[in-house]
Chains A and B, each alone.
Chain A
Amino acid sequence: MGKTALVVDDSRTMRQMVAFTLTNAGFTVIEAEDGKDAVKKVAGGGKLDIVVTDLNMPEMDGITLIKELRKLASFKFTPILMLTTESAMEKKQEGKAAGATGWIVKPFNPEILLKTIAKVLPV
């Protein structure tokens, strides 16, 4: 069975690049352009295997999205990766406190993206 990923980023290009890489790796990808959009898209239920989200977004930022998702029963243990340019610790800490599984530091290449995802994907 193919796995499903939710990709959240307000930057169209960035979102497309992540989605492209994941689609090529056999994922079914759902795209959302900010936190609010993401919450709306997962509201219908359905199984998700991984979430990759940007942090800095309009409407609802990544940290809030992670908190919101963790509140949902179906997202309690789903791996959530944050895409961040800040290698700054504060953002990572904030994300971890909110329940993020891990992070990918921008800029990244497809290989690193897939490796990091493989690292947290449920066995």
Chain B
Amino acid sequence: MSNDFAQFQDAFFDEVAEHLAIVEEGLLALEQHPEDRDLLNKIFRSAHSIKGGAGMFGFTAVSQFTHKMETLLDLLRNGQKAVTPVVADLLLKSTDCLKTLIDSTKSGAAVDDDVVQQLTTELASESAGGASAGSAGEKENKPAQTAAAGSHGETRYAIKWTPPDWLFQRGLDPLQIMKELKALGALTDVTMDLSRLPDLAGIDPERCYLSWSMTLSTAKDVKAIEHVFEFVREDSKLSIEAQTVAGSESHVASQYPQYETQHQQPETLDAGPKPLGAILVESGMVTPAALDQALAQQKKVGEILVEQKVVTPQQVEQALQKQRQQESATHAKKSDTASIRVDTAKIDKLINLVGELVITQSMLSDLGMRFEMGQLHVLLERMAELERNTREIQERVMSIRMLPIGTAFSRFPRLVRDLSAKAGKKIQLVLSGEETELDKTVIESIGDPLTHLVRNSADHGLEGPDERLDNNKPEVGTIRLNAFHAGGNICITVEDDGRGLNRDKIVAKAIKQGLVGENDKLTDAQIWPLIFKPGFSTAEKITDVSGRGVGMDVVKRNIEALGGTVTIKTEQGKGTTFTLNLPLTLAIIEGMTVRIGQETYIVPLLSILESVQPKDGVVKTVVGKGELINVRGTYLPVIRLYEVFALTPEHTVPTKAILLILETEGERVAVMVDEILGQQQVVIKSMEQNFRKVEGIAGATILGDGTVGFILDVRGLLEIARRDTAVAA
């Protein structure tokens, strides 16, 4: 059944994403090199593959739309039509539309039919406007024929077949055809005609000089017989004469009837048993019309319950809303499931390593069986081996999740093209370090923040061409995106050679918003981060692109959610560089282990600013603000962790304990613990997946001694601090 192919749908969507990227990149490159035939061929092939695949899965909307694009692309690659900006633009728009169509196919969401319709029309008219566009006409799938005529028993057909002489050279075998015919019915009187056979000397053994005549009695119709000759019919002399059993009437089958391959639409997955109505209709007990009428009278459960006064209409509406939410949630979930394509070499290496691990393990258990103290050095050696294996496997497994960042960069050429057109600026985009690898989840999450930064550079950072020329700068502005490894982290920079951040404007705006005092002496390092404050925008006019003051704060929040940081370097008139520092992976973090009473907790190292042992009088209780600590003149809220987690601590007096100053999203808090134990890498295990969400805890991990340690959620702790003081107030 065609259902067999359903399991390939995910693979197909993955492949489509690759093809779409090729099409988009290709179209963008085409604007620079409109004459590049290879490029056009590449784009065409990708579109063609999308169409073919979509057809296989019965995604008609996708295949039909792609067909329209393909028709136009075909004209372009054959040189029948020139690549004009209008055409390129139309194709780019169509690519976007195709993306939406595919997403909607994937998730089941609705599509804006008007857009699809309009683009379809535009594509068609653009194709028609070209040279001899008519050749690429549509082929409609004729419904497959049904074997209806067979009811009055078998028919006898007299078949005469003279195959083309190159029959063998195409790998065709007359015997195979006889076999197929025999499968249709009784094949009799098969006579071979040798009359065309030349003299022995003149025989080319690779040519076919034979012809046949035969009689076939079958219940199948002429079409079925013709189908047997499908691949040779056009080149053969073939006559099929039907002789009714009475023997008087006969007709000659047409010479070239069109045969269309039957295509069955893939059935929906998990179809389940048919509804009762469908079965009744099928068995002929009920007409479809009668069924529809009966169904129309059928009431919905909600309506019945309301009538019986079991529930109120409002309650039904609420329940329906909930249902819709769940539906859309499952849709969203569906599009979230993703797969990774991994180089087989990586997997082979991994399997090798697992093999080594198994060997080391068996050597160890062997040693354990008959261990004597004298063999201690052997044990230590084996343990070292085990450690090496484990570390290597860890690294290899992590590398499976690693993808080149180029996939996140690939959207920018298009973005910059559109932005420069919109803003009337000339912008070139330079990408580098695309091959730098980082965790798939991180790549997926940095797309939006990067987009904000690039938009920001294009809109605020870079000047218009006139202003640039006035300032002795090249007319074309440059935005550079670069990625590189730095230690255990990855750095991504977004750099522009525009006007730089304007110190005075930012300060003025900050004073206006009450973020800084009028007489504060501020260093540059204190001023630039102000642009990450919510609602902060110094743009004089709000443009289509940016300047609404949303964006930069989101960028910072998103990056920090990934455990990363954003820094700014800027010089007036020279340009601005945003540097994103991100961890390579989200699954493992650097943590500081701390002790509270008998329990061990882990604090993410990135969020720790410093640790202090407060002197007498530094920690004070302020009415309405709870406990505060004075750190060099700034008062920070103090959280006693043992209170939050209901533990018995060793110290309850701040001067005896240790206070960790933690920071997240620009806010700081002091957290009281008994002791700092050390620093280690920890693997995060999700709390939600294994238990449930716990406030103040980001996850759990297994510690060296096998016990479970909790990882603190600094953000959550801040919330707790804020709420407690509110309650206290």
Contacts and interface: CB of A to CB of B under 8 A. Distances in A.
Contact of A10 (B11, B45, B173): B45
A21 B176 contact: no
A14 B261 contact: no
B169 interface: yes
B170 A101 contact: yes
Interface stretch (B24-32, B50-58, B308-316): B50-58
B170 A76 contact: no
A107 interface: yes
Interface in B44-101: 44-45, 48-49, 51-53, 55-56, 58
A12 B635 CA distance: 61
A104 B171 CA distance: 15
B176 A112 contact: no
Contact of B4 (A11, A80, A110): A110
Contact of B231 (A11, A14, A78, A120): A120
Interface in B3-59: 4-5, 8, 11-12, 15, 41-42, 44-45, 48-49, 51-53, 55-56, 58
A47 interface: no
A96 B235 contact: yes
Interface string A102-121: 11111111111000000111
B328 interface: no
A12 B260 CA distance: 26
Contact of A17 (B48, B51, B56, B206): B56
A64 interface: no
B226 to A, nearest CB: 13
Interface in A50-96: 56-58, 70, 76-80, 85, 87-88, 96
B171 A99 contact: yes
B4 A100 contact: no
B171 A78 contact: yes
A101 B171 CA distance: 6
Given A11-B49, A109-B264, A20 B56 contact: no
Contact of A123 (B41, B175, B206, B260): B175
A122 B5 contact: no
Contacts of B172: 79, 101-102, 120
Contact of A110 (B5, B53, B176, B235): B5
A11 B15 contact: yes
A12 B175 CA distance: 35
Interface residues of B, number: 41
Contact of B262 (A80, A112, A119, A122): A112
B171 A107 contact: no
A78 B172 CA distance: 8
A76 B169 contact: yes
A7 to B, nearest CB: 14
Contacts of A122: 173, 176
Contacts of A110: 1-2, 4-5
Nearest to B56: A107
Given A56-B45, A121-B176, A123-B173, A17 B8 contact: yes
Nearest to A105: B261
B144 to A, nearest CB: 11
Given A13-B8, A14-B53, A107-B56, A112 B45 contact: no
A104 B52 CA distance: 12
Contacts of B230: 102, 119
Contacts of B260: 87, 105
B196 interface: no
Most chain A beta-carbon neighbours within 10 Å: one of B53, B175, B231: B231
Interface of B: 1-2, 4-5, 8, 11-12, 15, 41-42, 44-45, 48-49, 51-53, 55-56, 58, 139, 168-173, 175-176, 179-180, 206, 228, 230-231, 235, 260-264
8 contacts: A13-B11, A14-B52, A101-B171, A102-B172, A107-B263, A119-B228, A120-B176, A122-B173
